[in-house]
Amino acid sequence: MHRTLAWASVLALVVLVTGCESQPPTVTPAPAGDDSQQGATSIEITIEPPGSVGAQAGAEVLEVAVPPITLSEITPYVDADGAFSIDLPAGWPEQRQPMEASSDIRLGTYFQPSTRNALVTITQFDNGQAPTSLGATANDVMRKSGVMDQPNYLELGRESVIERADDAMRIELAYTRSDGVDMHSLVLFQVDGTTFSMVHVGVEAGSWAENEGVIRDILASYRVPASSG
């Protein structure tokens, strides 16, 4: 999957950046006749809900205050189609996104509390080929999702998953949402056959220290395909 991915709209990538409901991103194909970018696309991320303060060019951005959060009551979640299983905070509703049949993105979904001070997003890609480079594919996904372009973006560290050193890694990062909320996240990139997963767990920055252990437990519970035990 180090080859160019065919990208399509998926709100999970938008939520990774914004942490709030928004329009799906759109895909901008390479210009006609540009053989150097054949098949390549970029993701245009709409980072504000329609009509919200700051969505229009030149509008003043209203900073949103969110309360701290304590992640507790983690319970198993099994995807209805068996695509994945993961432990999640109880009571967080799921927002499943429709996928385009022609896209390499096979699944996009996110879970978020009503306070919007934390989130879990899960995106699965599959182009029928196993990635040749985990790190390069992760970099490509991060770049095209636009998260690297967010205010105050900072990559804090990368680490291998000891149990799966050849096909799983985590990236810790911080950024500021478009509504002014500082976020601190840990993102898992994992290969299972030809499926490449991006699993993001983030909380408002002031809640990171208290919840880091639970965040790591959530990511460690992720399985492809779903595990019932």
pLDDT (tens digit, 9 = 90+) per residue, 9-26? 344 444 444 444 433 332
Residues 6+ apart with CB under 8 A from 46: 14, 22, 23, 24, 25, 26
CATH of 11-56+68-220, one of 3.20.20.140, 1.20.1050.10, 3.40.1000.10, 3.30.420.10: 3.40.1000.10
Q: Give residue 39's pLDDT.
A: 35
Q: Report percent pLDDT > 90 for the chain.
A: 49
Q: Give residue 62's pLDDT.
A: 60
27 in Cβ contact with 7 (< 8 Å): yes
Tell me the per-residue pLDDT of 162-175, one tens digit each, with 9 for 90 and over: 999 889 999 999 99
127 in Cβ contact with 145 (< 8 Å): no
d(CA 127, CA 103) in angstroms, rounded, equals 8
Tell me the per-residue pLDDT of 93-149, one tens digit each, with 9 for 90 and over: 998 888 777 678 889 888 999 999 999 999 999 989 988 899 999 998 888 878 888
Residues 6+ apart with CB under 8 A from 79: 85, 107, 226
Taking residues 182-196, report their average pLDDT.
Answer: 95
156 in Cβ contact with 172 (< 8 Å): yes
Domain residues of the chain, as ranges? 11-56+68-220
30 in Cβ contact with 6 (< 8 Å): no
Tell me the per-residue pLDDT of 26-56, one tens digit each, with 9 for 90 and over: 222 223 333 333 333 433 322 222 233 343 4
Its pTM stands at: 0.79
